[in-house]
Chains A and B, each alone.
Chain A
Amino acid sequence: MHLLGFSLALYVGPDQILPLTSILGAIGGAIMIFWRQVVGLFRRIRSVFVRE
């Protein structure tokens, strides 16, 4: 019984994965939509730390 409980704790099925992969997918999609803004933001942040 303990072994079964331990196995269930380790079980990663679709129900467990869906929220995580959906959030990652949505973040990826948003980055693709706002690509220029994202790149611009990174450039600005970089310029704060790196002086040319």
Chain B
Amino acid sequence: MSLPRLELAPQPPEPPRRSFGWFILAAGSLALAFGLGEALVSLCLGTRQGILSWKTGNSVKILFAAPAVYLLIFLPAAVPFALLDRTLKQRWSEVAMVFGFTTLFGISVTTLMRPWFSASASVILGLGMASVVSRIYNSDRTRWGLALVSSAPRLAAAALLIGVIGAGSASVVERLTIARLPAVTSSAPNVLLIVMDTQRADHLTPYGYARPTTPRLARLAEEGVRFIRATSPAATTLPSHSSIMTGQLVGEHGAGVNGKLFLDRRFPTLAERMRDSGYLTGGFVANTYWTGRHTGLNRGFVHYEDFYGSLMDGFTRTVMGRAIAYQLFPMFGRVDIPGRKRAEDVNRELLGWLDSRRGRPFFAFLNYFDVHAPYRPPPGWAGRFSSPGDSVARTRRIEIGAWNEGTVPDSAVLAAWRDRYDESLLYLDHEIGALLDSLAARQLLEHTIVIVTADHGESFGEHGTVHHGATLYLEQIHVPLILWGPGRIPAGKWVDRPVDLRAIPATVLEAVGVPTLGFHGRSLFASLDSRDTTGDPALSEGPLVPGNPPTWQTGKGWVKSAVTQRWHLVQLESGDRELYDLRIDPAELHNLAAVPELRDTLTALERALPGTFGGNIAAGSLR
């Protein structure tokens, strides 16, 4: 009987035992290489819209952030491997470190490719990549171990160089773009468009709220025009902002519909038109999830500040940082959005940019995110309307708010939410006042038209819903709208004709004397004319969101809404209709759609609604 022939590959000599410093240097090398790798993958994926998800948007600053975050995680993680190497007889510790770190990197980059790989596929691919790398490493540990530590300085230099070039390139591109802008008349006014994310109108002092939440906005409204029946085109951020920028209905632009989480290029944006007319255009957004550059809302802005508003936000721009911040922090009671950009941060970014870019009129778009769930007013503002220890802090997870299980908390929690929401609004009002004061100190405010509005409202239990995106009842779409501009906008005027925010591009363009061609026809200036009797209803749409609870309107299908001075029609895709008389039933509790005497009213309102449910969304997705 012959023995089986064994084919043993020649084994390289065992390397000397690794020092503690070797582990640190090796971990540093892996961190820099993998950090740069994730940064490049993220940037490559970001070149095509719709690949990065609402949480994974990024900018070129990832070239700095990712290597730094990887160093922050890998260097301390190398210590146990170094200690194991000293205590164990077997020499598997260094290979285990290479395997572990490569697995984390593999899972990270495949997680970014979420349109293609599910979470389990990401884990298997990460383990596969780590298996290959560690197998190669183990085949000649002496050689690869030396390469790992000797490449650390070169990798550090490369990461620094790439980061500096990447960050610098954005500034160079901006300067070149500004240099190519056409001339603009010196008398052209500045335009400041403020969108208070998630701000329902009826919680503002100038809209009759009993609490003194917005003294500064009340003053602004007294000196300008307030539209008391303004509605948002949608009850969620991306579709609504897309309508604000393009003047189109949600069913027309299709952003935020059928999984298309970006504004495509079919329609011109207000920022593009302003830039092409010679304006300095700057966007400064705090809701980076839904207004970051990955959503396409940055189109037309020569300068766009979204991500990296703080070190914590930089940490969460990487997959590992995000996992730690969103999964681990809540376990220790930190349930606010990690790195939430506050109004003061947005203001600082805008003023810094204005100070560095003088000589042209500006169009600045601000998105404030302070009142959005989770309702967490900044320190110093909590407790103005609430009492300590209220019910709001019971959660152990970060509830960003646009989705939930469809349940409504008890009245104590709802009351606590309202208190915190109002405290956040009080802070925001203060910061808007501070911004206006800062602009006045720079002699910019007197030449500025200010528009204050919101992208949608918020529910606190009304109609069995909380947060937003659930229905098209007024608590979710009735938003503030204030126009202010000394010498250009009449003071102390109230407008009770219904308007929707699609009118903003035409309004701004008319105000600065630029043709409104290509945008929704009627500007808000037409509504200021008391002879205007067109009576067009304000329109809103709620796209179907398959994951939404079936008790929500948007969980069942598309929803459309038309608001007039007296009536509100809500039409569901199923054919169900709800009609409310806002004069006697502002809370929309008594559906009058079945009243025979109102058939003509119902028919007239239905005719005003957008033609089909979903508009041309399907065609728009076929790109």
Segment 432-468 of B: residues with Cβ below 8 Å from A:
none
B621 touches A28 (CB 8 A): no
Q: Tell me the bound Cα distance from A32 to B125 in angstroms.
A: 8
- Extra contacts, 10 of them, besides A7-B619, A32-B125 (Cβ < 8 A), are A7-B618, A10-B622, A11-B622, A22-B121, A26-B121, A26-B125, A28-B128, A29-B124, A29-B127, A35-B135
- Nearest 3 pairs of A and B residues by beta carbon: A32-B128, A29-B128, A29-B124
Segment 11-32 of A: residues with Cβ below 8 Å from B:
11, 13-15, 17-19, 21-23, 25-26, 28-32
A10: nearest residue on chain B (CB-CB)?
A: B622
B618 touches A29 (CB 8 A): no
Given A17-B116, A35-B131, A35-B135 in contact, is the A26-B619 Cβ separation under 8 Å? no
Q: How large is the interface on B (under 10, 10 to 19, 20 to 34, 35 or more residues)?
A: 20 to 34
Q: How far is the CB of A2 from chain B (nearest CB, A)?
A: 13
B618 touches A8 (CB 8 A): yes
B120: nearest residue on chain A (CB-CB)?
A: A26
Query: Is B110 at the interface (CB under 8 A from chain A)?
Result: yes
Given A14-B259, A35-B132 in contact, is the A26-B124 Cβ separation under 8 Å? yes
Q: Tell me the bound Cα distance from A29 to B126 in angstroms.
A: 7
Given A11-B618, A11-B621, A11-B622 in contact, is the A25-B129 Cβ separation under 8 Å? no
Query: Is B525 at the interface (CB under 8 A from chain A)?
Result: no
B125 touches A28 (CB 8 A): yes
A32: nearest residue on chain B (CB-CB)?
A: B128
Query: Is B117 at the interface (CB under 8 A from chain A)?
Result: yes
Q: How far is the CB of B112 from chain A (nearest CB, A)?
A: 13
Segment 400-437 of B: residues with Cβ below 8 Å from A:
none
Q: Tell me the bound Cα distance from A8 to B617 in angstroms.
A: 11
A22 touches B118 (CB 8 A): yes
Pairs across A and B, CB under 8 Å, 10 listed = A8-B618, A13-B259, A22-B120, A25-B110, A25-B117, A25-B121, A32-B127, A32-B129, A32-B132, A33-B128
Q: Return chain B residues, CB-CB under 8 Å to A35.
A: 131-132, 135
Query: Is B115 at the interface (CB under 8 A from chain A)?
Result: yes
Q: Tell me the bound Cα distance from A33 to B115 in angstroms.
A: 23
Q: Return chain B residues, CB-CB under 8 Å to A33.
A: 124, 127-128, 131
Segment 94-137 of B: residues with Cβ below 8 Å from A:
110, 115-118, 120-122, 124-129, 131-132, 135
Q: Tell me the bound Cα distance from A29 to B122 in angstroms.
A: 9
A12: nearest residue on chain B (CB-CB)?
A: B622
A29 touches B619 (CB 8 A): no
Q: Tell me the bound Cα distance from A22 to B328 in angstroms.
A: 27
Q: Tell me the bound Cα distance from A17 to B619 in angstroms.
A: 18
Q: Return chain B residues, CB-CB under 8 Å to A30.
A: 124, 128
A29 touches B259 (CB 8 A): no
Interface string of A21-52 (1 = CB under 8 A from B): 11101101111110100000000000000000
B128 touches A22 (CB 8 A): no
A21 touches B117 (CB 8 A): yes
Q: Return chain B residues, CB-CB under 8 Å to A29.
A: 121, 124-129
Q: How many A-B residue pairs have CB under 8 A?
A: 69
A11: nearest residue on chain B (CB-CB)?
A: B622
Q: Tell me the bound Cα distance from A32 to B103 in angstroms.
A: 12
Q: How far is the CB of A11 from chain B (nearest CB, A)?
A: 6
B621 touches A14 (CB 8 A): no
A25 touches B618 (CB 8 A): no
Interface of B is mostly: helix
B110: nearest residue on chain A (CB-CB)?
A: A25
A31 touches B115 (CB 8 A): no
Q: Return chain B residues, CB-CB under 8 Å to A26.
A: 120-121, 124-125
Q: How many chain A residues touch the partner (CB < 8 A)?
A: 23
Chain A residues within 8 Å of B, Cβ to Cβ: 4, 7-8, 10-11, 13-15, 17-19, 21-23, 25-26, 28-33, 35
Q: Return chain B residues, CB-CB under 8 Å to A8.
A: 618
Q: Return chain B residues, CB-CB under 8 Å to A19.
A: 118
Q: Return chain B residues, CB-CB under 8 Å to A11.
A: 618, 621-622
A4 touches B618 (CB 8 A): yes
Q: Return chain A residues, CB-CB under 8 Å to B132.
A: 32, 35
Q: Tell me the bound Cα distance from A4 to B614 in angstroms.
A: 12
Interface centre among A7, A10, A33 (most CB of B within 10 A): A33
B125 touches A25 (CB 8 A): yes
B51: nearest residue on chain A (CB-CB)?
A: A14
Q: Tell me the bound Cα distance from A17 to B124 in angstroms.
A: 18
Q: How far is the CB of A20 from chain B (nearest CB, A)?
A: 9
A31: nearest residue on chain B (CB-CB)?
A: B128
Q: How far is the CB of A34 from chain B (nearest CB, A)?
A: 8
Q: Tell me the bound Cα distance from A34 to B355 in angstroms.
A: 59
Q: How far is the CB of A13 from chain B (nearest CB, A)?
A: 6
Q: Return chain B residues, CB-CB under 8 Å to A10.
A: 622
A7: nearest residue on chain B (CB-CB)?
A: B622
B117: nearest residue on chain A (CB-CB)?
A: A25
Which of B124, B131, B135 is A25 in contact with, Cβ under 8 Å? B124
B546: nearest residue on chain A (CB-CB)?
A: A15
Q: Tell me the bound Cα distance from A19 to B122 in angstroms.
A: 12
Q: Return chain A residues, CB-CB under 8 Å to B129.
A: 29, 32
Q: Tell me the bound Cα distance from A21 to B118 in angstroms.
A: 9
Given A29-B125, A30-B128, A33-B131 in contact, is the A22-B618 Cβ separation under 8 Å? no
Q: Tell me the bound Cα distance from A21 to B131 in angstroms.
A: 21
Q: Return chain A residues, CB-CB under 8 Å to B127.
A: 29, 32-33
Q: Tell me the bound Cα distance from A29 to B135 in angstroms.
A: 14
B132: nearest residue on chain A (CB-CB)?
A: A32
Segment 127-166 of B: residues with Cβ below 8 Å from A:
127-129, 131-132, 135
A18 touches B116 (CB 8 A): yes
Given A7-B618, A13-B259 in contact, is the A18-B115 Cβ separation under 8 Å? yes
B616: nearest residue on chain A (CB-CB)?
A: A4
Q: Tell me the bound Cα distance from A21 to B51 in angstroms.
A: 14
Q: How far is the CB of A3 from chain B (nearest CB, A)?
A: 9
